[in-house]
């Protein structure tokens, strides 16, 4: 018996075969599908729909099928549409008519969301582990370089001196939020949909609590229509990945810029570089550019899913089949990119000598805000001090001199509150350490935050 031997009784038109078949991509859910079928078989037996002997026969058949798929011996057939029907067909080939009892009271509408939920439970754990590895690599780089001071940038123009670790910890906090989001997402994901039937709920009184325990879920879905209709758990996963990819993309952009000849703050290892087919001297950051490129696609996958969902009437509609390729693509690229990013932060080099030279020769306009603070501490109103230092900065730029080279008499012409001790502000360490608030770049604060990140990232979020 195939699905078409009843109501339709004619073969599916050739033109629809390819469009309708999802087995080419949903076959990767075979573990989850078999796990779901095993639990369902036991529930059917418990309910008295199948006998113990039949239960054993089905379970044995399913185990063999799983092995066949794992070893690559299984022959998937396009005409069987999806992973569910491929397995059912093979089960029939193996154990005969008893195979047809497995689907009693069950619908593929609930089966597919069960598979997807099980799959994402697993994937989320893997992603969280990889995220932990990346955090560790970034923290390692930060710890080794707390004392390396670099200019920070706003509008890609030099702003204020910061420890490079401060920038690296910014990445860490974005990643930690990702980890936290996955944890929170799992609470909603961890809900068992089986027993929802096609849309109205099981008509054979299947024991949903038994299924929940058997499959290791925390709770069961509370509305059968919602259970088969929603894909918001997939959208949520894709959003978390998309948000992580925005961070990956920006980290890569930072490193591409800061490793360019003009900046030379980082050196990307040769193993993560490429060259040009024409210009033999080139060392290009292609892997980082590709991560930036992948982010477009991962964000795109989220958008296609949301657009896919927005116009479908409740409950299940076949459009929903289109949720999978984007999801798998997002999962594959997320796992891949975590490995690249982790390797990058493990092996990237900071050019401390170049950084020191650059800071030394850089116009000390980076101290302008410290100069404003100096005046403010001596009672000048901030807005006035800002204007005065602005004029001094212009004076220095116009004459091509450093702020620290302007004589005190000259400073006094701008504001009588200046005194000899103003020259003490021209120290990178002093400037950095003055930003001594929780979350600031003062070195003691960074040490504090490293400890904080280490303890959060090892806790089970």
| Residues with catalytic roles | 155, 276
| CA-closest candidate to residue 189, choices 228, 231, 229, 243 | 231
Cα 184 from Cα 178, distance rounded (Å): 10
Nearer to ligand ARG, 315 or 369 (CB): 315
Nearest-10 Cα torsion for 354, 355, 360, 364: 140
Beta-strand pair 349-350/157-163: unpaired
What three-state secondary structure class fits 323? helix
Structure tokens given for 139: 């923290």
315 cis-preceded (ω within 30 degrees of 0): yes
Query: Distance between CA 309 and CA 376 in Å, rounded?
Result: 56
Token duo for residue 414: 């701008």
**CA-wise closest residue to 301 among 271, 320, 328:** 328
250 vs 59, 171, 174, 283, CA distance in Å? 49, 9, 11, 20
The smaller minimum CB distance to ligand ARG, of residues 323 and 449, is found at 323
Nearer to ligand ARG, 248 or 316 (CB): 316
Contact assessment for residue 21 and residue 78, using Cβ atoms and an 8 Å cutoff: yes
Task: Write down the least CB distance from residue 16 to ligand ARG, Å.
Answer: 12
Judged by the rule CB under 6 A, the positions of this chain that interact with ligand ARG are 22, 26, 82, 108-109, 112, 316, 318, 320-321
Q: How far is CA 83 from CA 23, 69, 87, 88, 115, in A?
A: 5, 11, 6, 9, 10
In the bound complex, what is the minimum distance in angstroms from residue 12's beta carbon to ligand ARG? Answer: 12
Q: Is 427 in contact with 433 (CB distance < 8 Å)?
A: no
Location of structure tokens 């974005």 = 174
Contacts from 415-423 at CB under 8 Å and sequence distance 24+?
Answer: 415/375, 415/380, 415/385, 415/388, 417/375, 417/378, 417/379, 417/380, 418/374, 418/375, 422/371, 422/374
Q: Are 249 and 130 in contact (CB under 8 A)?
A: no
CA distance between the termini of the chain: 48
List the helix and strand counts (H, then E) for the chain.
18, 6
Tell the residue number behind the tokens 């879920």, with chain if given. 217
| Two structure tokens written together for 312 | 């479908």
Residue whose tokens read 């000048």:
380
Q: What are the tokens at 355? A: 């950084």
Contact 78, 18 (CB under 8 A): yes
With a CB cutoff of 8 Å and minimum separation 6, the contacts of 122 are 32
């Amino acid at each position: 018996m195939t699905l078409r031997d009843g109501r339709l009784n004619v073969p599916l038109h050739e033109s629809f075969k390819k469009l309708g078949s999802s087995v080419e991509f949903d076959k990767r859910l075979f573990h989850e599908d078999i796990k779901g079928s095993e639990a369902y078989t036991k529930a059917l037996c418990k309910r008295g729909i199948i006998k113990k002997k039949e239960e054993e026969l089905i379970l044995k058949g399913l185990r063999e099928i799983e092995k066949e798929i794992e070893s690559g011996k299984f022959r998937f057939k396009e005409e069987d549409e999806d992973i569910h029907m491929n397995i059912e067909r093979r089960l029939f080939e193996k154990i005969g008519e008893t195979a047809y009892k497995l689907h009693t009271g069950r619908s593929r509408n609930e089966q597919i969301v069960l598979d997807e939920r099980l799959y994402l439970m697993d994937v989320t754990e893997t992603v969280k582990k990889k995220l932990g590895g990346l955090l560790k690599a970034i923290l390692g780089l930060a710890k080794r370089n707390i004392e390396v001071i670099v200019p920070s940038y706003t509008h890609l123009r030099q702003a204020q001196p910061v420890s490079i670790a401060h920038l690296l910890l910014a990445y860490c906090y974005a990643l930690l939020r990702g980890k936290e989001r996955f944890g929170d997402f799992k609470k909603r994901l961890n809900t068992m949909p089986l027993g929802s039937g096609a849309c109205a709920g099981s008509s054979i009184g299947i024991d949903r609590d038994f299924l929940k325990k058997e499959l290791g879920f925390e709770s069961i879905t509370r509305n059968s229509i919602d259970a088969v209709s929603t894909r918001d758990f997939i959208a949520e996963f894709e959003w978390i990945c998309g948000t992580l990819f925005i961070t990956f993309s920006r980290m890569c952009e930072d490193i591409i810029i800061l490793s360019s000849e003009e900046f030379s703050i980082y050196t990307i290892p040769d193993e993560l570089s490429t060259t040009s087919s024409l210009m033999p001297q080139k060392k290009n950051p292609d892997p980082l550019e590709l991560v930036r490129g992948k982010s477009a696609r991962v964000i795109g996958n989220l958008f296609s899913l949301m657009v896919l969902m927005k116009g479908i009437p409740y409950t299940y509609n076949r459009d929903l089949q289109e949720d999978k390729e984007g999801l798998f693509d997002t999962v594959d690229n997320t796992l891949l990119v975590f490995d690249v990013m982790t390797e990058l932060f493990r092996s990237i080099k900071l050019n401390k000598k170049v950084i020191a030279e650059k800071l030394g020769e850089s116009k000390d306009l980076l101290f302008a805000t410290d100069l404003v603070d100096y005046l403010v501490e001596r009672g000048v109103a901030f807005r006035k001090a800002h204007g005065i230092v602005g004029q001094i900065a212009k004076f220095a730029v116009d004459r091509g001199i450093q702020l620290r080279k302007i004589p005190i008499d000259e400073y006094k012409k701008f504001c009588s509150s200046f005194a000899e001790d103003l020259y003490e502000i021209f120290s990178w360490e002093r400037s950095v350490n003055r930003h001594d608030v929780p979350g600031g770049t003062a070195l003691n604060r960074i040490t504090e935050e490293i400890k904080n990140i280490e303890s959060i990232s090892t806790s089970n979020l």
